[in-house]
Each structure stands twice: as structure tokens, then as C-alpha cells.
Amino acid sequence: DSYAVPIIVASDWHAEERVDSSTINGLNEFGLEIAERRAGFFFSNSLRLVRMFNQDVKIDTIVLALLGDFVTNYLHDENRETNLLGPSEALVFVKDLLCSGIKFLLENSNYKLVIPCCYGNHGRLTQKMRHGNIKSTSLELLIYKWLFDYFRDESRVQFDIAGGQMLVADIVGRRIRFHHGDLIRYQGGVGGITIPLNKAIAQLNKAVQVKLDVIGHWHQFLFGRNYLVNGSLIGYNAFAQYIKADFEEPQQVMIVVDRDRGVSFVGPIILNEIQRQPIDYVYRPFMS
């Protein structure tokens, strides 16, 4: 009788941005072909994980949370010099990646898809972030609306496009709040973003009480009692090196919310081919 809903989180792809490996000591490289390949592994490896859990738990619905910053845009001056696509081309590129991935999930499974959509801070049309009209000033609304129109007649797909900064969903009896995560203010200090994140959640919970906040923005995989922070598809870059951010491999995150136990699994979605190697075990006889 067990039942669960997996949530796969997609955010911070920065799909048109270029990462030159020579600027970060060979730690990472990123371009359009790499973005396309990692996006493909995101969807295929997500489905592999869901199928693995579905062997023991009933699963009929996947939540695919789209939490923004799929494009880098011209947010900083150097992006005009280094981005591999202009903003409008980048939107079309990301739309194609997401559309292809959603079609893959539909064609290779019988799962229903619920897709909450939130806006990042990079895709904005204004110099500073807007709050009361974030929807009308975000380029990512175009991506979400294109996807909604494409899958309009697909009965297994349900979109929920945010009217503001965040969405709250009831998933198997547990309230979960989705947002990009840029409302967290962190200026350095012991504990990383965990202290300001917990303070922000406590304030938000005074208005709407939830069990879990699911965010992106910080390009690092973190899980706590009441929060989940997603990694990034682009991975480590020169800006991350400049601000002395923790190094992290490109990854996205999946959680499984069990009807009876709450969050029963949290883990990374690997964005490259999974290699299966035998255990390197050397027999050593007992020596008295």
C-alpha cells in the first residue's frame, strides 16, 4: 500500500553561457553541446532513479520542478562578450531542451507529470529584480508558456506557472514551497547559506506554514530538515572561483516524498554517463 511522489528539480542551467576550462584550472568546461548532453542525462538518469524506487513503492506521478535561471541573459557586462547565444536565441534553445526532455519522460514511461514553474533572477528584463510584477518582467515566462502550449492537449501533463515569486503545493499531504532562492541574503560567514536560509524560512512560515522549501540559485546541493537546495547544470565557473564558492560537480537533485514517511530519499542526479566498474577488491589473508 506504500505510495510516493518523486520530485526532480531543474534549475540554474545557464544554458548559453560559456565556461572556458583554462580560466578555472581545467575544473569544468561548458558550451552548447555540453549543455545539451547534460540536459539529456538529467532526464534519462532521473527516469532511471524513479524506476528504481518504483520497484518497491507505488509511483504514478513525477513532479518536475522548474526553478529558473535556465538562461544567463546579459545580466553582467561580460555576458555580452562571452555568452554563446543572445537572450532570444537562448530562450529557444532552452525551450527545445526542456520540450525534448518532457517528451522523453512521456514516451518512455506511463507517469503523469506535474510541472511547477518559478522564475530565476538571471532572466529578468530589468536592471533590478521586480517583486510585484516578476512574472511580466521575466523572460522565463516565455519558456514556460511555450511548453504549456506545446503540451496543452497532453492529458498526462499539468503545468502550474507562478504568478509571483513562489508556489506552494500539497504533495501527498505535505506542503512544499518552490522558489528560485534568490531572496536569501548571504554575505559570508560560518555556516554558509544555512543560517540565513533557516531565518528566511522561519519568516515565510509565519504566513504559509510548509514542511519543506525547495530552491535553486546557490549552485550547491544542500539538504536540511526543512530545505533542499539544488545544484547546477553549468557547474563551476570563473565567477564561482572569484567569490570563493565551494567546488561542486554539475548536478541536479531528486527527492522522494513518501505518503507515510515524508522525505524518504534525497540524492543527486548525475549529469554524465553512469559508469559501472567492478569493486577493486584485493584478498588479504588473515595474519596472526
Per residue in 89-103, pLDDT (tens digit) is 999 999 999 999 999
pLDDT band with cut points at 50, 70 and 90 for residue 283 = low
pLDDT of residue 280: 63
pLDDT of residue 275: 60
pTM for this model (two decimals)? 0.93
Residue-wise pLDDT for 181-206, tens only, equals: 999 988 776 778 999 999 999 999 99
**Residue 124 confidence (pLDDT) above 90:** yes
Higher pLDDT, 77 or 160: 160
Which residues does 230 contact at the CB level (< 8 Å), separation at least 6? 9, 10, 11, 12, 67, 214, 215, 216, 221, 252, 253
Residue-wise pLDDT for 201-256, tens only, equals: 999 999 999 999 999 999 999 999 999 999 999 999 998 998 888 899 999 999 99
Higher pLDDT, 202 or 287: 202
**Residue 278 confidence (pLDDT) above 80:** no
**Residue 139 confidence (pLDDT) above 60:** yes
Mean pLDDT computed over 131-149: 96
Cα gap 262→212, rounded to integer Å? 10
**Residue 288 confidence (pLDDT) above 60:** no
146: left (phi over 0), alpha (psi -120 to 50) or beta: alpha
Mean pLDDT computed over 66-82: 95
Residue-wise pLDDT for 260-270, tens only, equals: 999 999 999 99
